[in-house]
Amino acid sequence: MIILRRELSPFIYRLSIKIMVHLPLTVKKGRVKSMKKKNKYTYLFKLYPPVITKDQFYRICNISKKTAAHLLDNGLVPCVNSGKKTRKYKIKLKDVIEYLESREKDPGRYAAPSGWYKTYGKPDEKDLLMTPANIRRISAHYLKKLSKYPDVLSVNQLSSLTGYSTTTLLKWINKGAIKHLDMGNRYLVPKEWLLEFLSGPEFMKARIPSKYGEEQINKIFKSKD
Give me the domain span that covers residue 106. Answer: 44-112
Same domain, 167 and 87: no
For 182-198, write each residue's pLDDT tens digit: 988 889 999 888 888 87
Q: Phi and psi for 188 in degrees, rounded to 5? A: -125, 145
Element (H or E) spanning 220, and its range?
helix 211-222
Q: Please check the confidence at residue 205 and state whether its pLDDT lies above 90.
A: no
Query: Measured in whole angstroms, how far is the alpha carbon of residue 122 from the centre of its chain?
Result: 16
In one letter, which amino acid is 36? K
pLDDT in tens, 40-95: 888 899 899 999 999 999 999 988 888 888 888 888 899 998 877 778 899 999 99
Do 106 and 144 lie in one domain? The reply is no
CATH number, domain at 145?
1.10.1660
Stretch among 3-12, 97-106, 152-161 having the lowest mean pLDDT: 3-12
Is residue 209 situated within a structural domain? yes
Residues 218 and 161 in one domain: yes
CATH of the domain at 81: 1.10.10
Number of domains in the chain: 2
Burial class (CB in 10 A: 0-12, 13-18, 19+), 86: exposed
CA distance 83 to 222: 12
**Sheet strands side by side (includes 187-190):** 152-154, 187-190, 181-182
Residue 39 within any structural domain of the chain: no
pLDDT at 153 > cutoff 60: yes
